[in-house]
Amino acid sequence: GQNIDQPTEMTATEGAIVQINCTYQTSGFNGLFWYQQHAGEAPTFLSYNVLDGLEEKGRFSSFLSRSKGYSYLLLKELQMKDSASYLCAVRDGKGGADGLTFGKGTHLIIQP
Which chain residues interact with other proteins by CB under 8 A?
31, 33, 35, 40-45, 48, 50, 87, 89, 94-105
Residue 9 or 77 having the CB closest to other proteins:
9
- What is the smallest separation between the CB atom of 67 and other proteins, expressed in angstroms? 21
Exposure of 13 by Cβ count < 10 A (0-12 exposed, 13-18 middle, 19+ buried)?
exposed
- What is the smallest separation between the CB atom of 97 and other proteins, expressed in angstroms? 7
